[in-house]
Structures are given as C-alpha cells and as structure tokens.
C-alpha cells in the first residue's frame, strides 16, 4: 500500500471527525455557563443526586441523568 495514500486517508478521516464533533453544541457546558451568568452554582450534571436547587430551571433535566423519578422534581 502506498504510504502517502494511508497518511492522506488518515488525515482526511481525522478532519472529518473533528468537523462532525464541532457540529454539535455541548449542552452541559452551555447550561453551566448560563448558571454562572445567573449567579447560581454551575452544578448541572455534576453527579449531585441530592440536589437542593429546587428553583433551578435545569433541575428536571439534570436529575434525569441519574434516573430520578419525576415525582421528586
């Protein structure tokens, strides 16, 4: 196999993967950024199963990541 072809294919695949990954928004970092801007703890999905932030707009979505029931939200 031609070594130049292998390197070119690998570079193309890597570039394609990077472009694909950049096409999505990192929701977790976005929500944490919003929480900081609001002056609240940036705790979204930081494995806090016993959340005491009852007024948080993101609480429902955060607790879903732990499989919490809707009754607790």
Cα(2)–Cα(7) distance, integer angstroms: 9
46 is written with which tokens? Answer: 């930081």
Number of domains composing the chain = 1
pLDDT level of residue 70 (50, 70, 90 thresholds): very low
CA distance linking residue 8 with residue 3, whole number of Å: 9
Structural domain boundaries enclosing 41: 3-72
Percentage of residues in the chain having pLDDT higher than 70? 60
pLDDT at 63 over 70: yes
- Calpha distance 53→25 (Å, rounded): 25
Where does the pLDDT of residue 38 fall: very low under 50, low under 70, confident under 90, or very high at 90 and above?
A: very high
- What confidence tier does 25 reach under pLDDT thresholds 50, 70, 90? confident
Q: What gap in Å lies between CA 66 and CA 72, rounded to an integer? A: 12
């Amino acid at each position: 196999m031609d070594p130049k072809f292998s390197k070119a294919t690998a570079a193309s695949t890597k570039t394609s993967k990077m472009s694909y990954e950049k096409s999505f928004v990192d929701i977790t970092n976005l929500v944490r950024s919003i929480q900081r801007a609001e002056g609240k703890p940036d705790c979204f999905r930081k494995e806090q199963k016993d959340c005491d932030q009852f007024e948080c707009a993101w609480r429902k979505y955060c607790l879903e990541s732990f499989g919490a029931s809707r009754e607790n939200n």
